Amino acid sequence: MAIIVGISGCLLGQQVRFDGGHKRFKFADEELSDYFEFKPVCPEVGIGMTIPRPVIRLLDNSIDIRLVDSKDNTLDYTDKMNAFTDNVLPSLETLCGYIVCAKSPSCGMERVKLYLDNGHSVPGGSVGIYTKRLMQKMPWLPIEEDGRLCDPVLRENFVFRVYALNDLYESIKGEDGITRNKLMNFHARYKLALMANHPATYRKLGQLLAKSHQWSDINAFFVEYRQLLMDGLKHRSNCKTNTNVLLHIQGYFKRNLDKQQKAELRDVIMRYREGNLPLIAPLTLINHHLSLNPNEYLSKQAYLAPYPEALKLRYSL
């Protein structure tokens, strides 16, 4: 079953922009579409604006930030946009991620131009009205914009978080619903990933799960766990944390590999640490050894195969 991901309609090639055009995002439309079921939304069309339509912008009126017509500040679309977002939120509960359009006053995720009454812009900008409310209402949801996804590190991290959230949702399915045992089993698969992305969250979640029996409401516990998990995975792994995890994995093979094989694996890991090899190199060698020397714990680790290999997301890391 495809993973459901929200996306700004213009990024899929829909001609819904203010000028009747689109901003088709090739990576989403041609590569991710093989794995994700995209749910396109254009909030500006959603509030009844025409195609084409007047340009809108964000305005700081010294009280709050408003979404207004670029030529007439009295034409204010803020309340309509917030109402539309609240109305559409129930249909977005099954989403595992969202890709928004950069620089858009409705959809932009960061550094959207923010104007003052005198026409000057505010350094640093703001967040699009629709995306801001979406992030407030669904803080666990992986959200990225098309421009940032051109960065290989951000791209890999986003896709990994989408797959992790989908895995979490799939793990709690069943007639018995959410159970502590299901969450424990899920967490066991993400231990190495959490160690690589954010060791502090790895420790915090371990402590949370250890006290899970103290929670009388398993649904409330799930909400807390999901938020902490997704916050932790939002931190991007780096050379240092990945190296620590790779060396940790190497320890599982100490009784299976001969002296030469151990030296070879350590050499590849060190060459990755020094920046001479991509992350995929030591991971490929580790997966090779794992196929010859099965280990139940390692074979279940999301860190070793977090998403389809065909996406080639770790080739640039």
* Domain-embedded: residue 84: yes
Q: How many CB atoms lie within 10 A of CB 31?
A: 15
Instruction: Please check whether residues 145 and 16 belong to one and the same domain.
Output: yes
Q: Is the pLDDT of residue 258 over 90?
A: yes
* Domain-embedded: residue 163: yes
Q: Is the pLDDT of residue 42 over 90?
A: yes
- pLDDT confidence of residue 257: 96
Q: Which domain holds residue 166?
A: 152-234
Over range 154-166, report the average pLDDT. Answer: 98
- pLDDT confidence of residue 266: 98
* Domain-embedded: residue 289: yes
Q: Residue 145: CB partners within 8 Å, gap ≥ 6?
A: 99, 100, 101, 102, 107, 108, 109, 110
Q: Is the N-terminal amide bond of 52 cis, ω within 30° of 0?
A: yes
Mind listing the pLDDT tens digit for each residue in 55-78? 999 999 989 999 999 999 999 999
Instruction: Please check whether residues 132 and 157 belong to one and the same domain.
Output: no
Instruction: Please check whether residues 101 and 195 belong to one and the same domain.
Output: no
For residue 237, what are the CA distances in angstroms to 33, 117, 185, 290? Answer: 25, 42, 23, 22
Over range 246-257, report the average pLDDT. Answer: 96
Instruction: Please check whether residues 181 and 67 belong to one and the same domain.
Output: no
Mind listing the pLDDT tens digit for each residue in 86-101? 999 999 999 999 999 9
- pLDDT confidence of residue 1: 72
Residue with the two structure tokens 């421009």: 147
Could you tell me which of 51, 68, 180, 194 has the C-alpha nearest to residue 119? Answer: 68
Q: Is the pLDDT of residue 282 over 80?
A: yes
Instruction: Please check whether residues 104 and 22 belong to one and the same domain.
Output: yes
Q: Is the pLDDT of residue 164 over 90?
A: yes
Percent of the chain with pLDDT over 70: 100
* Domain-embedded: residue 316: no
Q: Which residue among 180, 201, 234 closes a domain?
A: 234
Q: Which residue among 234, 259, 294 closes a domain?
A: 234
Q: Which residue among 150, 178, 204 closes a domain?
A: 150
Residue with the two structure tokens 């490929």: 284
Q: What is the mean pLDDT of the chain?
A: 97
SS3 160: helix
144 falls in which pLDDT band (50, 70, 90)? very high
Give 263-269 contacts, CB < 8 A, sequence gap 24+: 265/289, 269/243
Instruction: Tell me the residue ranges of DSSP E strands in 35-100.
Output: 36-41, 56-60, 65-69, 98-100
Instruction: Please check whether residues 44 and 123 belong to one and the same domain.
Output: yes
Mind listing the pLDDT tens digit for each residue in 289-299? 999 999 999 99
Instruction: Please check whether residues 66 and 142 belong to one and the same domain.
Output: yes
Helices (H), the chain: 26, 43-46, 78-88, 129-137, 152-171, 180-189, 191-197, 199-210, 218-234, 239-250, 259-273, 280-292, 296-299
2 falls in which pLDDT band (50, 70, 90)? confident
Instruction: Please check whether residues 225 and 119 belong to one and the same domain.
Output: no
SS3 145: strand
Instruction: Please check whether residues 29 and 10 belong to one and the same domain.
Output: yes
Number of domains in the chain: 3
Instruction: Please check whether residues 160 and 174 belong to one and the same domain.
Output: yes
Instruction: Please check whether residues 74 and 104 belong to one and the same domain.
Output: yes
Over range 154-174, report the average pLDDT. Answer: 98
Instruction: Please check whether residues 24 and 137 belong to one and the same domain.
Output: yes
- pLDDT confidence of residue 172: 97
Could you tell me which of 153, 130, 156, 135 has the C-alpha nearest to residue 9? Answer: 130
